[in-house]
Amino acid sequence: MRAMVLNASGSALRLDDHRATPPPGPDEILIRVRACGVCRTDLHMVDGDLPLPKLPVIPGHEIVGAVGAMGVNVTRFRKGDRVGVPWLGWTCGECQYCRTGRENLCDRAKFTGYHLDGGYAEFAVADARYAFPIPDGVGDLEFAPLLCAGMIGFRALRLAGDAERVGFYGFGAAGHIAVQVARHRHQAVYAFTRPGDTQGQEFARSLGAVWAGGSDERPPELLDAALIFAPAGPLVPAALAATAKGGTVVCAGIHMSDIPSFPYELLWGERVVRSVANLTRKDGEEFLAIAQEAGVRTRTTEFSLEEADEALAALREGRLEGAAVLVP
């Protein structure tokens, strides 16, 4: 099969067009990949921001495809079923986190496209217990960004509590989905983009943001919560300054540049700063149900498998509206 492979931290992906198609283990399905979303986490891997537990590795954890073969223990799916594979690829089921409904924090968790080869390839294997069936009526490309950007955005939104006014710092793949879910939940979204990105601000307003401006601006009203999707530490004090007493600032990315020191006054008043890490399978199921109910539509830009580095460059430079998706 053809696959885009990361051989070393901080290097470009390389095409391997003679890679052996992986055989599915007893609990696994073999998937013919039809689309795979490009996530900022992939960019952090390529840019050397994250430790890499497995090298070489095939990135990609927003996989949409069709089941081609199954291990002996798999009963959930049949050949030809359309499935989605998210970031959470395996958990131990035994640790204190797994036993208390927090498998997203499992010490031994394996993540797709990180510990496990992912979807930047023609075929991928995945543990069937962590894959999602995909409903009819939504295209492969359109569905892919729901599998991480959508699910993580949803978890971040929920961790922000019942906020009426929610700020989004960064309005990319996750933001453009979460704004639609927030609207459905009758929450008002204030979108902050890179200063001067009027096109991004227009995009946010077109999807229902009540206000959009640069991250250096103050919103017209204080926020009840803020979600930080952009990987920039200085946004934490900025978001705290824009958030009312008792509000929560949620850092939604896996990596962020250092947070500068800031006066305690910004945190005072029972403001909370927290991160969101990974997802549970339950989050995924709940999000997919609400996405369908809310009629969430995603904006995607298609790239071929061989164009993976180009897609990552477009993401790095903020040139994308919505999400990049690879089609092998």
Q: Residue 155 in 3-state DSSP?
A: helix
Residues 200-219 touching Zn ion, rule: CB under 5 A, are none
x/- site string to Zn ion, residues 62 to 91, per CB under 5 A? -----------------------------x
CB of 302 to Zn ion, least distance (A): 18
**Residue from 52, 95, 210, 327 binding Zn ion (CB under 5 A):** 95
Judge whether 13 and 46 are in contact, CB under 8 Å.
Answer: yes
Structure tokens at 248: 């929560």
What lies within 8 Å, CB to CB, of 58 at 6+ separation is: 3, 4, 5, 6, 113, 117, 118, 119, 120, 121, 124
Query: 39 — phi, psi (to 5°)?
Result: -110, 155
CB of 306 to Zn ion, least distance (A): 21
Q: Residue 18 in 3-state DSSP?
A: coil
Cα–Cα dist 231/197, whole Å: 17
Judge whether 306 and 4 are in contact, CB under 8 Å.
Answer: yes
CB of 106 to Zn ion, least distance (A): 3
CB of 187 to Zn ion, least distance (A): 23
Which amino acid appears at position 141 of this protein? L
CB of 280 to Zn ion, least distance (A): 11
* Sole window of 1-9, 46-54, 96-104, 305-313 interacting with Zn ion (rule: CB under 5 A): 96-104
Q: Which is nearer to Zn ion, 91 or 300 (CB)?
A: 91
Residues 98-157 touching Zn ion, rule: CB under 5 A, are 98, 106, 148
Q: Which is nearer to Zn ion, 1 or 92 (CB)?
A: 92
**Residue from 1, 52, 92, 294 binding Zn ion (CB under 5 A):** 92
Q: Residue 244 in 3-state DSSP?
A: strand
CB of 245 to Zn ion, least distance (A): 32
Which helix (H) or strand (E) covers residue 165, if one does? strand 165-169
Residues 23-62 touching Zn ion, rule: CB under 5 A, are 39, 41
Judge whether 83 and 66 are in contact, CB under 8 Å.
Answer: yes
Q: Which is nearer to Zn ion, 149 or 226 (CB)?
A: 149
CA angle 243, 246, 252 (to 5 degrees): 60
Q: Which residue in 232, 230, 250, 231 sits closest to 240, CA to CA?
A: 250
Total residues interacting with Zn ion, rule: CB under 5 A: 8
Q: Which is nearer to Zn ion, 60 or 219 (CB)?
A: 60
Q: Which is nearer to Zn ion, 92 or 327 (CB)?
A: 92
Q: Which is nearer to Zn ion, 98 or 179 (CB)?
A: 98
Q: Residue 35 in 3-state DSSP?
A: strand
CB of 196 to Zn ion, least distance (A): 27
Binding site for Zn ion (CB under 5 A): 39, 41, 91-92, 95, 98, 106, 148
